[in-house]
Amino acid sequence: MEKPLLQVKNIWKAYDELQVLKGVSFDVEEGEVKVIFGPSGSGKSTLLRCINMLTPPDKGTVILQGTNLMDSDTNLNMIRSKIGMVFQHFNLFLHLKAIDNVSLGPRRVLGLSKDEATERALDALIQVKMEKWADHYPAQLSGGQQQRVGIARALVMNPVLILFDEPTSALDPELIGEVLQVMLDIAKSGTTMVVVTHEMGFARAVATEMIFIDEGVIVEKGTPRHFAISPETERAKQFLHRLEVLYGHHEELLEPEDKEEGNS
Ligand SMILES: Nc1ncnc2c1ncn2[C@@H]1O[C@H](COP(=O)(O)OP(=O)(O)O)[C@@H](O)[C@H]1O
Ligand SMILES: [Mg+2]
C-alpha cells in the first residue's frame, strides 16, 4: 500500500504552562476527507496550525508526502504552498478585490505573471461560483461569498491538502449552505481535506473518518455512522448530544432507520 499523504505523529504543543496538544497522531490518505470535531478550546485550531507549521509543535513529527516538516532543512514556504488553509474569519485582504485576493498567492509564491495569475484566479473563482464577483471588495460581499473567495484562494495554489478551520461557524445560518455545497464539490473532486467542523450533515455526506478531540487528545475515532449510532466514550456522547441540541434544526446525520437503532 502507498504511504499516507499526511502523517501526524505524537504532536505536543503548549502555550507557556497551558498544555494544548498532548500526543495527537493520525494519518490522512490521499483523497480522504477527515473531519475533526470537539469542544471549544480543545486544541483543534492549534492542531491545524501545527500541520502547516504556522505553529511548530514542541514535539512530534508531521510528514507530508514523505517530507518531515520538522526537519530544519525543510523549505517551509514550499510546503505551505502545497497546503491550503481556510479560516473561520476568512482572513481576506480588505483593500484587495476578490480576484486580487485569489491571484496574490500565484504571483507572490509561484512567481506567475499578473496575467497568468489572474487567469488562474478566475478559474478558482469559477469553482466556487464567485466569478461574477471578481471585481468586488470583501466589504461588498456577504460572509458566505467572502468565505467562497477564501476557499478559491486555497484552491488556486493547486494544493495537495486543504485544511479548513470551522469555515462556516462565523456565518449566519442562511449562508452556511452555499459554503458547504462548495466544500462538498471539492471533496467529491477527490481533494484531500482535513476539516474542523460541527456540521454533521457535511460529515455524513463526505467524511471518510471523524476524529473527536477533547482537551488535546484524540478521544474517539470512527465513521460518521459510528458517531451517529454508537459513540463509545461518555465524552463523545455528551458532546454529540450538545451539538444536536444546538444544531438540531439542520441535523441530517441520522437516517430514520438509524435513529430507531440508536434509540433501542
Ligand atoms: N497563541 C496562543 N497563545 C496562548 N494560548 C493560546 C494561543 N492559541 C490558542 N491558545 C489556547 O489554547 C487552547 C486551545 O486553543 P485552540 O487550538 O484555538 O482550540 P479550538 O480551536 O479547539 O477552540 C485554548 O485554551 C486557547 O485559549
Ligand atoms: Mg478553533
Ligand nearest to the CA of 38: 1
Tell me the average pLDDT across 143-152.
Answer: 98
Q: Is 231 in the pocket of ligand 1 (CB under 6 A)?
A: no
Over its C-alpha atoms, the chain yields an Rg (Å, rounded) of 19
> Is residue 197 lining ligand 1, measured as CB closer than 6 Å?
no
Would you say residue 251 has pLDDT above 60? no
Q: Give the residue whose CA is nearest to atom 10 of ligand 1.
A: 15
pLDDT > 70 fraction of the chain, expressed in percent and rounded: 93
Of the ligands numbered here, which is closest to the C-alpha atom of 166? 2
Checking if the pLDDT of 254 tops 60, the result is no
Q: 139-142: long-range contacts (C-beta < 8 A, 24 or more apart)?
A: 139/94, 141/98, 142/175
CA of 40 to the centre of ligand 2 (A): 7
CA of 161 to the centre of ligand 1 (A): 23
Say how far apart CA 115 and CA 49 lie, in whole Å.
32
Which position has the higher pLDDT, 264 or 141?
141
Alpha helices in 166-223 (DSSP H): 173-188, 200-206
Place 259 in a pLDDT band, splitting at 50, 70 and 90: very low
Ligand 1 probe mutation, 11, 12, 19, 20, most atoms within 8 A of CB: 20
Cα 113 to ligand 2 centre (Å) = 35
Residue 247's pLDDT is what? 72
- Rounded CA gap, 171 and 188, in Å? 23
Number of residues assigned to the chain = 264
Indicate which residue's Cα is closest to atom 5 of ligand 1.
15
Q: How far is CA 20 from CA 10, 25, 187, 198, in A?
A: 13, 14, 29, 20
**What pLDDT does residue 264 have?**
38
How far away, in angstroms, is 46 Cα from ligand 1 center?
Answer: 6
Q: Does domain 6-91+166-263 have CATH number 3.40.50.300?
A: yes
Q: What is the mean pLDDT of the chain?
A: 93
pLDDT tens digits, one per residue of 58-74: 999 999 999 999 999 99
Tell me what pLDDT residue 257 has: 44
pLDDT score recorded for residue 244: 85
Confidence of residue 1 (pLDDT cuts 50, 70, 90): low
Q: How far is CA 161 from CA 5, 34, 89, 172, in A?
A: 8, 11, 20, 27
**255 band by pLDDT with thresholds 50, 70 and 90:** very low
Residue 150 has pLDDT above 50, yes or no: yes
Listed in sequence order, the residues at least 6 apart from 137 whose beta carbon sits closer than 8 Å to its beta carbon are 94, 95, 96, 97, 98
From residue 36, how far is each of 95, 105, 145, 218, 263 by CA, in Å?
Answer: 33, 27, 24, 10, 25
Spacing, Cα 68 to ligand 1 middle (Å): 24
At residue 90 the predicted structure's pLDDT band, cuts being 50, 70 and 90, is: very high
State yes or no: pLDDT of 82 exceeds 80: yes
Whole-angstrom distance, CA of residue 41 vs CA of residue 215? 7
Residue nearest to atom 20 of ligand 1 (CA): 41
- pLDDT tens figures, 167-218: 999 999 999 999 999 999 999 999 999 999 999 999 999 999 999 999 999 9
Q: Is 46 in the pocket of ligand 1 (CB under 6 A)?
A: yes
Q: Which residues surround ligand 2, an ion (CB under 5 A)?
A: 44-45
User: Mean pLDDT over residues 152-177, rounded?
Assistant: 96
42 lines ligand 1 (CB under 6 A): yes
Which grid cell is 176? 452556511
Predicted TM-score (pTM) of this structure? 0.93
For residue 192, the model assigns a pLDDT of 98
Task: Kindly give the number of the ligand 1 atom that is closest to the alpha carbon of 49.
Answer: 17
Q: What is the mean pLDDT of residues 110-135?
A: 97
Express each pLDDT in 236-245 by its tens digit: 999 999 998 8
Contact 163, 83 (CB under 8 A): yes
